[in-house]
Chain A
Amino acid sequence: MRDFANRYPVWTGVLALLVVILLWLIFAIWPPGLVDAVGSKKIFLSALFNGITLGGLYFLVASGFTLIFGLMRNVNLAHGTLYLLGGYVGFHTADKTGSWLLAFPVAFVVVGICGVLLQVLVFRRMEGQDLRQTLVTIGISIVVADLMLWGFGGDFFNISPPSWLSGPVETFFVSSVRRSGELVYLKYPMVRIVIFVAAVVVGVAMWLALNKTRIGMMIRAGVDDRDMLSATGARIQIVFIGVFAFGAGLAGIAGVVGGTFQSIAPGEDTRFLLASLVVVIVGGMGSIPGAALGALLIGLAEQFGSVYFPTYAVVLTFLIMVVVLAFRPEGLLGQQK
């Protein structure tokens, strides 16, 4: 942080100014002139929160992708397929047992096992062959997408959260002031808040596990120099399988979250594959904090875009990617090679 401030004083100033403006926009009661110019504060606040929670979902999907890529240089273009599979497994679990919470571990385990199979049967056989991995995983995603269409049908599914999570909750953010001087507080869906908090917990736990534990140390060493790590006697293939299972499991959990947030249907796999591609390109390949930052940026861009200039909302996210690529090809928090 301090290094950054010392190296780029101007940028730090700009960023600090932006943060102050943002905080003012969130907490202040908007003057009427501003409301006339950009619309009511309620719209702004819900776009902001929707963007942040969507960022949480993107982070869940993209962190698995970036972890797998960072450690093993495995290009898993079937990641979106794992997400969709998690969604279907979660939906059917929640449907059969009636328990929303049970859907998460089941989706994690089932999709994690699929990840192990992918690593053992596919990636281990073609280590270091980027193009072949890409092609094989594209082939797998085509086949599995059609199998899922066959098995689960083409309908939209929606995983409904339990009653204690549904319904809005009143937050402490003022959205507007009534004529009588009474403050109106923003109402926000409980389930989105819970899911966002869960995404933050997962992110922090991952950061702690990577930076404070022995396994995490092995993984970080593997990211930096795989051959040297295996030469020191670490059983790197087992670490690989574990990381792949965890990354795939995260995609499965994200599938359940996505099914609760939005819906699951054929085609969502490509959408989330693209989203996680953009997120990791913007944030920097193989970096967990980068994935968090990228997910937040893309989620916010998508939501603000759909509120303030709805026609080109999707294009905005790609525009961010192009700008990042043009000025910082390794991603915002990626390491320069």
Chain B
Amino acid sequence: MADMTSSVNLKKSRLEDVHPAYWILGIVLLVIPAFVSPFIMFQLMGWTFILGIIALSLMFLGGYGGMISMAQMALAGFAGYMIAIFGSSAIDTISQGWPWWIVIPLALFLTMLFATAIGWLAVRTEGIYTIMITLAIAAAFFYFTRQNYDLFNGFQGFNSVLPPRLFGVDWRGPYAFYYLTLFFAVGSYALVLYISRAPFGLTLQGVRDNPRRMAALGYNVTAHRVAAYAFAGLLAGIGGILLTWQSSQISPGTVGITPAIDILIIAVIGGLRHPVGAFIGAFIYVILKTFAVDILVSMGLAGERFQLLIGLGFLIIVLFSPDGVLGLWEKYRENRNRDPLTGEDRGDSRL
């Protein structure tokens, strides 16, 4: 026991620093494909990771930047549209058919540009105004894609937008797609975690807590906020491209107002405090969305009321725990740590 603590005090290696829960989760996620059906891998897990990445971009803005943007789904859809327009799809009158190694960076770059423009507009406002303005921008983008036939192919959008056949692998196959989305989910999660501890992330959190003080310290508040929007746009763009590949199509329905609100629901259900919340929220949402009809039918209710079930679940969570599932978990941990007699904290016990 003694030499263990001394080794901790001396110098921890990076691997030792990782919480055991991460190891367990990582191993489970890696070996899961051996046990479950392709439907669960492709539809459930793939979708969870994709929505998690998009919600993560909102979590980054909301949790570290204090700015709730409803335009993240619009950004994701924008990236999907860019892939369809510059890459190949069934609409070959519009699609340019460029190779993937130009299309994907170009799509992500344009998405970040769009995100910067949105951020530049949105940072002029604070708090609730930001939500309203980004919601209005998302709605404008939705209507624009629905009306524009020259570039966005209007109501129908694009279909047969497929991932490139890299290394001879069909990336839409259940195994390949599972690992593809898992890779990007873990990558964005680690990136967000890294940035939150890097100088940029710390400054951003300072700006969230007290913008005036940070400005007085010489930081450019607006530039940090706009940069946060650009980075969140990159994450949303990655999620959007994966989402387009998963359903192999992109249309105005993907970027509508309901999906934009769904992303907010996912981020809030999970909790905005920690990046893992986005994925927890996405998992709960996907499970609900996939099985709500069955649950309702088994309870003798009409299956089309699943929107009601999701809405009620969301309402209950935000009413009782503003910090989502993560908030509930923290409350539970605090309660367990508290001494039942004195009400004092018994000290931190891990897990």
Residues of A within 8 A of B (CB): 75, 129-132, 134-136, 138-140, 142-143, 145-147, 150, 270, 274, 277-278, 281, 285, 311-312, 314-315, 318-319, 321-322, 325-326, 329
Of the residues B135, B144, B148, B318, contact of A139 by C-beta under 8 Å: B318
B139 touches A329 (CB 8 A): no
**Which residue of B is nearest A337, CB measured?**
B126
B36 contacts the other chain (Cβ, under 8 Å)? no
Nearest chain B CB to A79 CB, angstrom units: 11
B79 contacts the other chain (Cβ, under 8 Å)? no
**Chain B residues in 8 Å Cβ range of A277:** 132, 135-136
Query: Total number of A-B contacts with CB less than 8 angstroms?
Result: 99
Measured in the bound complex, the distance between the Cα atoms of B145 and A312 in whole Å is: 10
A326 touches B121 (CB 8 A): yes
Nearest chain B CB to A144 CB, angstrom units: 8
**Chain A residues in 8 Å Cβ range of B125:** 325, 329
Count, chain B residues at interface, CB 8 A: 35
Nearest chain A CB to B126 CB, angstrom units: 9
Measured in the bound complex, the distance between the Cα atoms of B125 and A75 in whole Å is: 15
B68 touches A142 (CB 8 A): no
Nearest chain A CB to B25 CB, angstrom units: 28
B257 contacts the other chain (Cβ, under 8 Å)? yes
B319 contacts the other chain (Cβ, under 8 Å)? yes
**Chain A residues in 8 Å Cβ range of B128:** 75, 130-131, 134
Measured in the bound complex, the distance between the Cα atoms of B135 and A321 in whole Å is: 12
Given the known interface contacts A135-B264, A138-B261, A325-B124, the answer about A318 and B315 at a Cβ–Cβ threshold of 8 Å is no
**Chain A residues in 8 Å Cβ range of B264:** 135, 138
B307 touches A142 (CB 8 A): yes
Given contacts A135-B264, A136-B318, A138-B314, 14 further A-B contacts (CB under 8 A): A75-B128, A131-B68, A132-B322, A136-B315, A146-B308, A150-B305, A281-B129, A312-B144, A312-B148, A314-B140, A315-B143, A315-B147, A319-B140, A325-B125
Dominant secondary structure of chain A at its interface with chain B: helix
**Chain A residues in 8 Å Cβ range of B307:** 142, 145-146
**Which residue of B is nearest A270, CB measured?**
B257
**Chain A residues in 8 Å Cβ range of B322:** 129, 131-132, 135
A139 touches B305 (CB 8 A): no
The 25 listed contacts between A and B (C-beta, < 8 Å) are: A130-B128, A131-B68, A135-B264, A135-B318, A138-B264, A139-B314, A139-B319, A142-B261, A142-B307, A142-B314, A143-B308, A147-B308, A270-B257, A274-B139, A274-B257, A278-B136, A311-B147, A312-B148, A314-B140, A314-B144, A315-B140, A315-B144, A321-B140, A322-B140, A326-B124
B312 contacts the other chain (Cβ, under 8 Å)? yes
**Which residue of A is nearest B120, CB measured?**
A326
B319 touches A136 (CB 8 A): yes
B136 touches A140 (CB 8 A): no
Measured in the bound complex, the distance between the Cα atoms of B315 and A197 in whole Å is: 40
Residues of B within 8 A of A (CB): 68, 121, 124-125, 127-129, 131-133, 135-137, 139-140, 143-144, 147-148, 257, 261, 264-265, 268, 305, 307-308, 310-312, 314-315, 318-319, 322
**Chain B residues in 8 Å Cβ range of A312:** 144, 147-148
**Which residue of B is nearest A140, CB measured?**
B315
**Chain B residues in 8 Å Cβ range of A140:** 315
**Chain B residues in 8 Å Cβ range of A321:** 133, 136, 140
**Chain A residues in 8 Å Cβ range of B139:** 274, 318
Measured in the bound complex, the distance between the Cα atoms of B143 and A319 in whole Å is: 12
A274 touches B136 (CB 8 A): yes
Nearest chain B CB to A125 CB, angstrom units: 9
Nearest chain B CB to A320 CB, angstrom units: 11
A143 touches B315 (CB 8 A): yes
**Chain A residues in 8 Å Cβ range of B143:** 314-315, 318
**Chain B residues in 8 Å Cβ range of A134:** 68, 128, 131
**Which residue of B is nearest A150, CB measured?**
B305
**Which residue of A is nearest B310, CB measured?**
A142
Measured in the bound complex, the distance between the Cα atoms of B68 and A314 in whole Å is: 24
Measured in the bound complex, the distance between the Cα atoms of B235 and A211 in whole Å is: 50
Measured in the bound complex, the distance between the Cα atoms of B265 and A139 in whole Å is: 9
**Chain B residues in 8 Å Cβ range of A281:** 129, 132-133, 136
**Chain A residues in 8 Å Cβ range of B315:** 136, 139-140, 142-143
**Chain B residues in 8 Å Cβ range of A319:** 140
**Which residue of A is nearest B319, CB measured?**
A136
Measured in the bound complex, the distance between the Cα atoms of B132 and A143 in whole Å is: 20
A325 touches B133 (CB 8 A): yes
Nearest chain A CB to B69 CB, angstrom units: 12
Measured in the bound complex, the distance between the Cα atoms of B121 and A318 in whole Å is: 13
**Which residue of A is nearest B135, CB measured?**
A277
A314 touches B268 (CB 8 A): no
Measured in the bound complex, the distance between the Cα atoms of B144 and A140 in whole Å is: 28
A314 touches B147 (CB 8 A): yes
